[in-house]
Amino acid sequence: MKYIWVLAKKEIHSLFVSPIAYVVLTGFLLLGGWLFFNLLFRFNYLLTLYTSFQNLGGAQGLNLNDFVITPLLQNLTIILLIMVPVITMRTFAEEKKSGTYELLLTSPLTVTQIVLGKFLGCLFFIFVMILLTGIYPAILLFYGNPELGILASGYLGLFLLSVVFVSVGLLTSSLTENQIVAAVSCFVILLLLYVLSWPAETTGSASGSLLKYLSVVEHFSEMTKGLIDTKDLVYFLTLIFLSLFLTYRSVEASRWK
């Protein structure tokens, strides 16, 4: 376990000494802040509109969870879909390009320690990104009354989704020495998982249900409604372990070459 943390710390350090980390953090927070305040202003506009027309029923139907938090979390997933490949593309690909990959493979570290160390390093960075967005719900809690259960469930879903993105990013980076190829491959896979359920309504019931189950959006959407179902947790954990296992096999294959 000690070697895993050492490698994770090295990964975190290499992220924060490069400009990529600060560009990604700044871009993520700027986009998140812009979306949050636009959603908040829209909510306030509708509330004022209903109140001015004395439409109390319409005003009571407005709530922060449906009109601010849920759309914000859904938009943040799209930003993460773009940002995560940029963060993970360098994990293995840069090592291969710089020639340090062979040194890493011939070190006393096991393949499991290498994969988990890099995984935890990237995951820590993504966790910091998500943690910094906590200022948005904090503002809502200070001035309004959003439902804490739905808020917690939505953020849990966002975190699990980001873990899936990181594990897929590690896999694509382990397969190539070109960082651009790794980033684009990761983005394509994540986008496919994101849009997989779109044709579900036009296909048969069996295939439509399968497409919905395989899509990350469907499981995440359930959690933004405050529903934490076992099938959603199993889905996320399965994708994470499958991606990490394939990354393990990829790194192990390189060690034996």
pLDDT digits (tens, 9 = 90+) for 25-54: 999 999 999 999 999 888 877 777 766 665
Q: What is the pLDDT of residues 86-130, one digit of tens each?
A: 999 988 888 888 877 777 777 788 888 889 999 999 999 999 999
- Non-local (6+) Cβ contacts of 203 within 8 A are 211
Query: Measured between alpha carbons, how far is 188 from 126 in angstroms, rounded to an integer?
Result: 19
Reported pTM: 0.91
Query: Measured between alpha carbons, how far is 154 from 174 in angstroms, rounded to an integer?
Result: 31
- Non-local (6+) Cβ contacts of 206 within 8 A are none
The boundaries of the domain holding residue 108 are 2-255
Q: What is the pLDDT of residues 142-182, one digit of tens each?
A: 877 778 888 899 999 999 999 999 999 999 999 988 999 99
pLDDT over 90 percentage in the chain:
41
Report how many domains make up the chain: 1
